[in-house]
């Protein structure tokens, strides 16, 4: 049920600026900035051979990552995202095993145009987990 590591997300004040060093120093492929108003963030992806780094920047004070940025002024690792073959089946099994799904439990469309859900960090060793339909 658990697929590959889709991405590691790092929350920052300025996603384009944060991604730049990966392009300049590592020669990595950097995406354009993509605003996701429904999620309250702007994203910039760094593509690696085996996964991606997702820089996320808050849009406005109501953004779900605003408080995280207040606590981590220099940025910090915010969540990890795993592929799952069937997000509804994964959600139902996670709930049956006692994991908490954040929000109303209905998948939303994420940065790659695919459905995503977030899982409570207290159920995953302190790490916020995102699952994405592969």
Which tokens hold the place of 11? 């929350």
User: Among residues 70 and 78, whose Cβ is nearest to Co ion?
Assistant: 78
Q: What is the dihedral of CA 31, 33, 71, 6, to 10 degrees?
A: -40
Q: CA-CA distance, 125 to 108, in Å (whole number)? A: 24
Give strand pairing partners of 128.
79
Catalytic residue chosen out of the listed positions 29, 54, 97, 130:
130
Cα 124 → chain centroid = 15
User: Among residues 98 and 113, whose Cβ is nearest to Co ion?
Assistant: 113
Min separation Cβ 8 and Co ion, Å: 9
User: Among residues 117 and 130, whose Cβ is nearest to Co ion?
Assistant: 130
The SS3 assignment for 69 reads: helix
The question of whether 130 is a catalytic residue gets the answer yes
Residues that bind Co ion (CB under 5 A): 9, 54, 81, 130
Catalytically annotated residues: 130
């Amino acid at each position: 049920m658990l697929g590959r590591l889709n991405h590691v997300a790092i929350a920052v004040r300025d996603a384009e600026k944060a991604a730049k060093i990966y392009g300049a120093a590592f020669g990595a492929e950097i995406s354009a900035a993509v605003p996701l108003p429904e999620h309250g963030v702007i994203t910039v992806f760094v593509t690696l051979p085996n996964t991606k780094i997702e820089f996320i920047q808050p849009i406005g004070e109501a953004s779900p990552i605003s408080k995280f940025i207040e606590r981590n002024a220099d940025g910090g690792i915010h969540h990890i995202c795993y592929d799952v073959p069937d997000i509804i089946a994964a959600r139902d099994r996670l709930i049956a095993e006692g994991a908490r799904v954040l929000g109303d439990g209905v998948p939303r469309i994420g940065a790659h145009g695919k459905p995503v859900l977030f899982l409570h960090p207290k159920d995953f060793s302190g790490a916020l987990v995102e699952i994405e339909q592969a």
